[in-house]
Amino acid sequence: MAVIPIGPIHPILKEPLRIKLYVEGERVVDAEIEMGYVHRGIEKIMEGKHYLKGIYLSERVCGICSYVHTQTFAECIEHISKIEIPDKARYLRVIACELERIHSHLIASAVYNFAIEHETIGMWLLNAREMVMDLMEMITGNRVNMGFNVVGGVRVDIDREMMDKIYRTLDKFEEDLKNIIEAFETGPMIGLRSKGIGILNYGEIMKTRAVGPVARGSGLPESDWRLRHPTYQELNFKPVWREEGDNFARMMVRHEEVIASVELIRKALELYGECSGGVRKKVHVKGGEGDWRNEAPRGEVLYKITITNDGIIKRIMIRTPTVMNLEAYKYMLKTCPTISDAVSTYASIDPCISCTERTIIVKGANNKEKTIKF
């Protein structure tokens, strides 16, 4: 048995980690994942700080899905303090969250296509993503780390001209994306590299607690936390899912979720147009402990916060989706006939490493291990 190392720096890796593939010939039989290259201790940094600084830091947990972290942080504080935000803010949060989901899924799909050497579709997807990024910048003022959410609502409102531009852009984007999806779905080379590769079955989902498109690609629609969110329930949200459990299914779930997100944005805009009033309210934060979950692009993200009456964070715990999906990746390897398939399967789970690293293991002089979580 030989060991093939991938990383910590490798063309397929968006962020550094090391994957040790144990192979017999070309066949992958096992893997070990080593992390620790981008550990920042962000939870510990938040402790003792005011929640206004905490929400700022939460947006730096992840670069691609930075928005959903501030929404989850804000909604957790609002849940603890029993704060009702204006309807306009609720719908604007949906719009921003779904735009972020679209751009994240398009990056994930582009990276996967590069991994299977279909660079044409990869570039088409990145070009289509620019339309979405322009909308995010127009609504929030920035493309990444938008600073849009505050406890009690959102920072800025939109006007009629912006709404019209969102409608027009979504129409053009949807038309372009459907053509790209058709090319992916019917491409013979894509099928050979994706169908029947990296299969994760229902039992393995239960064992690893995989989330997001990874779970929904293996027949678990209830994994989508938007089903439990009151605003999405009002929008009559229905999850996208497939049963094949392979790389192809995971990518098609993301593609179909992009189309579903476009429809959700249209519904939210329609309801937003019927609202009046402002987009934020003055709040009084109460001390207590609570948790809140949202559906990030990669799956369930959890914030658990203990806060004082003065708004000081005593303790915060953040759980991101890649923690569970990396464990599921090891089970996918049994249906990866080659090393290159193991690499593309890794890309199919859309991992985010910087927002995953929450634990370090310190070895003392006596070689005893001590786990420190932050």
pLDDT (tens digit per residue) in 211-253: 999 999 999 999 999 999 999 999 999 999 999 999 999 999 9
Q: Tell me, yes or no, whether 175 lies in a domain.
A: yes
User: Does 11 fall in a domain?
Assistant: no
What does each C-alpha distance from 150 to 74, 78, 228, 251 come to in angstroms?
6, 10, 22, 33
User: Known binder of ligand: residue 97?
Assistant: no
List the beta strands (DSSP E) in 114-155: 149-150, 153-154
Identify the segments of the chain with pLDDT beneath 50: 371-374
In a domain, 6, yes or no: no
Question: What is the model's pLDDT at position 354?
Answer: 80
- Please report, as a single letter, which amino acid is at residue 110: A
275 is in an annotated binding site: no
CB-side exposure of 110: number of CA atoms within 13 Å? 17
pLDDT of residue 358: 63
| Residue 237, domain CATH | 1.10.645.10
- For residue 80, tell me if it sits in a domain: yes
Which of 201, 213, 202, 185 has its CA nearest to residue 349? 213
Please report the pLDDT score of residue 9 as a whole number: 80
Predicted pLDDT at 365: 55
Domain-embedded: residue 13: no
Q: Is 15 among the domain residues?
A: no
How many Cα neighbours within 13 Å face the side chain of 98? 27
Query: For the segment 49-103, what is each residue's pLDDT rounded down to a tens digit?
Result: 999 999 999 999 988 889 999 999 999 999 999 999 999 999 999 999 999 999 9
Query: Phi and psi of 22, rounded to 5°?
Result: -95, 120
Q: What is the pLDDT of residue 373?
A: 46
Answer yes or no: is 355 a known binding residue.
yes
What's the domain count of the chain? 1
In a domain, 221, yes or no: yes
On whether the CB atoms of residues 73 and 54 are closer than 8 A, the answer is yes
In terms of residue numbers, what domain contains 214? 41-343
**Is 318 among the annotated ligand-binding positions?**
yes
Nearest Cα residue to 269 out of 129, 93, 133, 103: 93
User: Is 369 a member of any domain?
Assistant: no
> What DSSP line would sit under 175-242, residue for residue?
HHHHHHHHHHHH-HHHHHHHTTSS---HHHHHHHT--HHHHHTTT-GGG-GGGG-HHHHHTT------
Q: How many CA atoms lie within 13 A of 287 on its CB side?
A: 6
Task: Say what the pLDDT of residue 1 is.
Answer: 81
Q: Residue 352 annotated as binding?
A: yes
